Structure 1
Amino acid sequence: MNGMTSIIIPTYNGLHLLRTCVEHIRAYTDVPYEIIVVDNGSHDGTGAYCTQEKLTLISLPHNLGFPAACNWGMRAARGDNLLLLNNDVYVSPRWLSGLIDALYSSEDVGIVGPVTNYASGIQQVEVGYSDLAGFVSEADRRNAPGAQDWREVRRIVGLCYLFKRSVMERIGWLDELYSPGHYEDDDYCYRARLAGFRLLVANHVLVHHEGSASFRHRFPSGFRELVERNRRRFLNKWKVDPLQFIDERGGAS
Structure 2
Amino acid sequence: MTAPRTTGIVIPTYNGLPLLRACVEAVRRHTDPERTPYELLIVDNGSTDGTAQWCGSERISFIRLPANIGFPRACNKGLRLAGGERLLLLNNDVTVTPRWLDNLSAALDGDDNVGMAGPMTNYASGKQQMDVPHADSAEFERIADEHNRSDPGKWEPVMRLVGFCMLFKREVYERVGELDERFSPGHYEDDDYCLRMRMLGYGLRLCRDTLVHHAGSASFRQVEPGKLQALVERNRRLFMEKWNVDPAAFF
Normalising by structure 1, we get a TM-score of 0.95
The corresponding residue for 1:82 is 87
| Residues 97-136 of structure 1: pairs in structure 2 closer than 5 A | 97-136=102-141
Counterpart position of 2:151: 147
Aligned amino acid, residue 147 of structure 1: D
CA distance in 1, matches of 2:223, 2:11: 18
Q: 1:213 aligns with which of 211, 218, 221?
A: 218
Task: Please report how far the alpha carbon of residue 105 of structure 1 lies from its aligned counterpart in structure 2 after TM superposition.
Answer: 1.3
**1:33 is aligned to 2:38:** yes
The match for 2:54 is: 49
Q: Show the 5 A alignment for 1:62-81.
A: 62-81=67-86
Q: Which runs of 4+ in 1 moved over 4 A?
A: none
Q: Which letter maps to 1:22? A: V
Q: Distance in 2 between matches of 1:90 and 1:112?
A: 17
CA distance in 1, matches of 2:110, 2:76: 26
Which among 231, 235, 240 is matched to residue 235 of structure 1?
Answer: 240
Q: What are the Cα deviations for residues 210-242 of structure 1, in whole angstroms up to 9, with x where unaligned? A: 010101213443212111110110100111111
SS at match of 2:219: helix
Measure, in 2, the Cα distance between the counterparts of 1:221 and 1:53: 37
Q: What code does the residue aligned with 2:60 have?
A: L
Distance of 1:147 and 1:24 partners within structure 2: 23
Aligned to 1:166: 171
Give the letter aligned to residue 9 of structure 2.
I
Identity of aligned residues (%): 56
Question: What secondary structure sits across from 1:23 in the alignment?
Answer: helix
Match of 1:9 among 11, 16, 20: 11
Q: Which runs of 5+ in 1 are unaligned?
A: 247-253
Instruction: Give the aligned residue type for 2:245.
Output: V
